[in-house]
Structure 1
Amino acid sequence: MNPPVPRASNGRWALFAVLAVAIAPILASYLTYYVWKPAGGKSYGELLPVQPVPAFKLSTLEGASASLADLKGKWLLVMVDSTRCEQSCPDALYAMRQYRLAQGKEMDRVERVWLVTDAAQPSAATLKQADGMHIRRALDPVPLPRQLDGGIYLIDPLGNQVMRYPRTAEPRKVIKELTGLLKNNENIG
């Protein structure tokens, strides 16, 4: 008996199968990127263009020179407002404290900053709410985008503006987002 002669068509099908396996991931990636865009990645806060916050003059309430660079290496929750802020100011100070405390063992990576935009002294009640917070007087216009007195800004440890939250934000959503940022960016601060 003669051995069976391999058919040329079997070799072609094997070649097509190998090519299909090699090309399928590339084709799938193009389709996913250009046709079926994934819907994830939504953030609760308003994403800001990630760029360094320009240097500007600050001082302590006592008049000593200060800057945000003094806090480099920490995530900063920044509020900008005058000392005459009404009820929204103490509420925002309390919320910022809660955002930080909710981070548990990671809370040392987060600092709170209140940039005061006028020459007056904060009231004793407001200072009590701001316990442990860095209070600085802005001597120049604050170079952060949008309506300054209506938000809480997040600045990363490299000094870049990242997000803006409204002062009336839902605390659970802000805490969840801040927790995720700290977890996913352990290497930068």
Structure 2
Amino acid sequence: MSETTNRSRSRIKLFLLALIGFGPLFVAYAVFFYFPHLLPSTTTNNGELIDPPILLDEVDDSEKLVGRWSLILLKTECGNECDQLGYLATQVVKGLGKDSSRVSKVLLESDHAPSFKQSRDAFYDFQSLKLTNTEALSQISKGRSGLFLKDPNGNFILFYPLKKAGKPMLNDLKHLLKLSNIG
């Protein structure tokens, strides 16, 4: 009888060890697929997530932007707001410190874009590129002026309207650059 008792105890111990190892996997699977309301719905990003991301295939000389993070200003009729966005983009890149070389600032222009009436001082260090089709980006910005964040793979991933440009954008960029090995 002692041999059967030892065998039973050994099986119970083996079952408990397997349960400790595989139990969390089964619980995670069940929560994810059968109880999605238990999953957190909040995010840590401050910008507006562009889902699905827009690819950079409609920009002339887009190879200049691949491999680097970019803050992109779409040239629209935005008055003083464009100057503020240009200034904020410059300050955000400076605020990155040693990671500032990983981020470029880009001014996207289209053939039918209005000419800037404001000073060009805010954009002296921006790369200027031509955009062949502004429809997708214009739909996301919804007529608001703001900055787009592009990842090193060429995807537009976040949009920052003027009220969220600045410190919130800097926090997002620091977080992304910390987690990213590319760009």
Q: Which runs of 4+ in 1 moved over 6 A?
A: none
Distance 2:82 2:130 in 1: 15
Q: Percent identity?
A: 22
Q: Summarize the Cα distance change of 1:11–1:40 in structure 2 as closer, same or farther, 3 Å threshold.
A: farther
**Paired letter, 2:85:** A
Using the size of structure 1 for normalisation, the TM-score is 0.77
Residue aligning to 1:28: 24
* Equivalent of residue 152 in structure 2, options 128, 151, 157: 157
Specify the SS of the correspondent of 1:78: strand
1:78 positional shift: 0.9
Matched, 1:169 2:164: yes
Contact 1:81 1:149 in 2 (8 A): no
**Paired letter, 1:177:** D
1:48-78 per-residue CA deviation (whole Å, 9 max, x = no partner) reads: 2354525225xxxxxxxx4222221111111
Residue aligning to 1:8: 4
Contact 2:75 2:113 in 1 (8 A): no
Residue aligning to 1:80: 74
**Paired letter, 2:16:** A
Q: Which moved more, 1:156-165 or 1:133-142?
A: 133-142
Specify the SS of the correspondent of 1:48: strand
1:93-138 per-residue CA deviation (whole Å, 9 max, x = no partner) reads: 1111112111111111101112234455434x53101121112343
Using the size of structure 2 for normalisation, the TM-score is 0.79
Distance 1:67 1:142 in 2: 19
Residue aligning to 1:46: 48
Q: Summarize the Cα distance change of 1:15–1:32 in structure 2 as closer, same or farther, 3 Å threshold.
A: same
Specify the SS of the correspondent of 2:152: coil
Residue aligning to 1:101: 94
Q: Which moved more, 1:102-111 or 1:19-28?
A: 19-28
1:9-56 per-residue CA deviation (whole Å, 9 max, x = no partner) reads: 232122211221122232222323433535675322222235452522
Which protein is richer in helix relative to its size?
2
Contact 1:78 1:115 in 2 (8 A): yes
